[in-house]
Chains A and B, each alone.
Chain A
Amino acid sequence: MDINTPVATIYGDLHEKQIERWKTQVSGLRERFGEKIEEVLFPREYPTDTPIVFVRADAICEVLEFLKNTPEFEYGYLSDLTATDEQEAPRFHVVYNLLARKTMTRIRLKVRVAEGESVPTAIGVWPAANWAEREVWDMFGVRFDGHPDLRRILMDVRWEGHPLRKDYPLRGYQFFPTPEPIDPSLLG
């Protein structure tokens, strides 16, 4: 018993009904983007709740824009933008969880990024990605090209290191004698 066993009190068979739609959508994506879709992991074959589409870093904005605006897809909501540290090359996966409100379908996009590489920013598609990308930079150290203001958001601006990486210790304290200063250049 694992994720592929549908639980009646958690969404029931909602995802069973969506498998056909996902299949058509994934083949549509492959047709449109060809090689830029690196891999697709589908729910019954891999333990996941929605299809995971691995996209090449340079094509992510096009794919997001396509998914948002094309009639059969209409993934209009960016539910979440985050990252995971896989500890094997390429090290980070930047994860985009999308939601299509009309059909309540979800999909997950992942971009594989090596340490030191960067991903184009999704701000052009959803301004909500602004702070989510800052948090990914703060916690993991993944840069986003074209982001207007990539600085730390959760940790103090003077913090060293990226806390959610697997090699950062849980108890790696740092102390600051003064409060964080105001930056008037941000106010134009």
Chain B
Amino acid sequence: MNIQNKDADKQMMQDRVPELGLPSGGHYSVDHDPDDLWGDSRIIVNIGPTHPAMHGALRMVAKLNGETIEKSYCEFGYTHRAKEKLGENRTYHQFVVYTDRLNYCSALINNVTYAMSVERLMGVEVPERAVWIRMICAELARVIDHIICLGINAVDLGAFSFFLYGFHQREEAYSLIEKICGARLTTSYTRIGGLAADAPEGWEKQVKEWVKRTRKVIDEMDELLTGNKIWCQRTVGVGVMSQKFIHDYSVTGPSARAAGLNYDLRRDQPCMFYKDVEFDVPVGQNSDIFDRYLVRLEEIRQSLNIISQCCDRMKKGPIWSEDKRVRIPEKDVVHNTMEGLIHHFKFFMTGFEVPPGEAYTTFEAANGELGFYIVSKGGPAAHRMRIRGPSVYHFQTLSPLCEGGKIGDMVGILGSINIIAGELDR
């Protein structure tokens, strides 16, 4: 076809109408496209709730000019499960189950944070062995969350082997978690005042062996991608957040550390025994996708350090506080004594009472600052159970970061921010 001469083409098309059988009877025109809203061939693309690169069900609607995203808006709420309303309708004991489903890649961290927030409202002291096991579980969950974040980020940008190496280590970590609490993913392991069950004999040794193997695998994964030219070209300089941006948008966690902010709640606001273990906090410089990848990889190594130190320092002892307000009696006490039976009955029919008060308790989750703001007016259920998930504040940064970039960059940025739909929609 003669591209230069539009009129000649139009005439030629109209001449061919009878043989082509065009339905419009020959009124074929390239002048007006009804979908062209701004009159200059920019298009709206709906990167919908179901899309391979959307982690969980997120929606982004972008105005594209060629491949450049000029403006976009994001929507979520496709996995909203009303956990905050459930928090007002379930007892504190029953709510542990819902906390696993928040950041489901690292369920143990949510359990630990929730238990800490209720214990704070009640002033309950947790025994030492339970605290060490909680720390090991939290760092284990952090390692598997970072592996899955980096793995999915790599898969979106085309690197599949990285994901598979990491996933095998995740399966081994799942076996360890299964040994301690019976479930792989949705653990519901902590109880208010302690833990549901003790670690079996020799569990610490198995964890240490897993740590040794994982260190080698992480080094292999590092070699796969860090010096890789394609990876560097796709990730260096993409999705840069300045320090002002981070303060404006309340970005916390590895994304904030990759921008040079030396801020980690485990070290600055220490809880449990983080003061007694040695670990470094990796801080990046440029805050692009590449720096976030490096920060997460280094955090995995530091978490593995923490796990082996905790395994060495763990001692035998009780794993649940003996405080009568929270301690659910053992089955032999329930079946053989009257007080045990009544105590058990009251726990499960009405729930234990938390004194009136309010507190906002935070912990450094894998993604950032996970907070539980619990308002209690006495009674067995909370008056307000607010869950501050880091992903909400991080997802808000996606639109400003993608503006002016290409669609391919959007996929990389979304993976590096690590949005988990459970935490986002609650």
Determine whether A and B are in direct contact in the complex, meaning some CB atoms lie less than 8 angstroms apart: yes
With known contacts A80-B388, A101-B263, A1–B122 Cβ distance under 8 A: yes
Cβ distance A165 to chain B, nearest Cβ, rounded Å: 10
* A164 interfacial by beta-carbon distance below 8 Å: yes
Interface pair A108/B44, CB less than 8 Å apart: no
In the bound assembly, the distance between CA atoms of A8 and B73 in angstroms comes to 45
B360:A12 contact, CB within 8 angstroms = no
Any B CB within 8 A of the CB of A128: yes
Main SS at interface, chain B: mixed
Q: Compute how far the CA of A163 lies from the CA of B76 in the bound complex, rounded to whole angstroms.
A: 16
Q: Please classify the interface of chain A as helix (H, G, I), strand (E, B), loop, or mixed, using the class held by over half of its residues.
A: loop
Interface residues on A, range: 35 or more
**Does A155 contact B80, Cβ atoms closer than 8 Å?**
yes
List of A residues within 8 angstroms of B396 by Cβ: 127-128, 130-131
Are the CB atoms of A47 and B269 closer together than 8 Å?
A: no
- Which residues in B have their C-beta under 8 angstroms from that of A49? 120, 358-361
Return the chain B residue nearest A41 by Cβ: B358
CB of B128, distance to nearest CB on chain A (Å): 8
Q: Are B388 and A128 touching (Cβ within 8 A)?
A: no
B89 within 8 Å of A (CB atoms)? yes
Q: For chain A, residues 24 to 53, give those with C-beta under 8 angstroms from any C-beta of chain B.
A: 46-50, 52
Is the Cβ of B371 less than 8 Å from the Cβ of A126?
A: no
A181 to chain B, nearest CB (A): 10
- Which residue of B247, B271, B395 contacts A9 across the interface (Cβ within 8 Å)? B271
A156 within 8 A of B: yes
Name the interface residues of B41-65: CB closer than 8 Å to any CB of A. Answer: 44, 46, 61-63
Q: What 1/0 mask marks residues of chain B from 247 to 265 whose CB sits below 8 Å from any chain A CB?
A: 1111010000000000100
Q: In the docked arrangement, what's the CA distance between A63 and B258, Å?
A: 31
Is the Cβ of A77 less than 8 Å from the Cβ of B247?
yes
Within the complex, the shortest CB–CB distance from A171 to chain B, in Å, comes to 10
Q: How far is the CA of A22 from the CA of B44 in the complex (A)?
A: 51
**In the complex with contacts A48-B359, A127-B248, A11-B271 CB distance below 8 A:** yes
Whether a CB of chain B sits under 8 angstroms from the CB of A79 is yes
The chain B residues found within 8 Å of chain A, CB to CB, are: 37, 44, 46, 61-63, 71-73, 75-77, 80, 82, 84-86, 88-89, 116, 119-126, 131, 247-250, 252, 263, 268-273, 323, 355-362, 369, 371, 373, 375, 383-384, 386, 388, 392-393, 395-396, 425
29 contacts between A and B (CB under 8 A): A2-B122, A3-B121, A3-B122, A3-B359, A7-B125, A9-B126, A9-B131, A9-B271, A9-B272, A10-B116, A10-B119, A47-B356, A78-B250, A79-B362, A80-B388, A95-B373, A97-B373, A128-B396, A131-B396, A132-B392, A132-B393, A153-B76, A155-B80, A163-B82, A166-B88, A182-B46, A184-B37, A184-B44, A187-B62
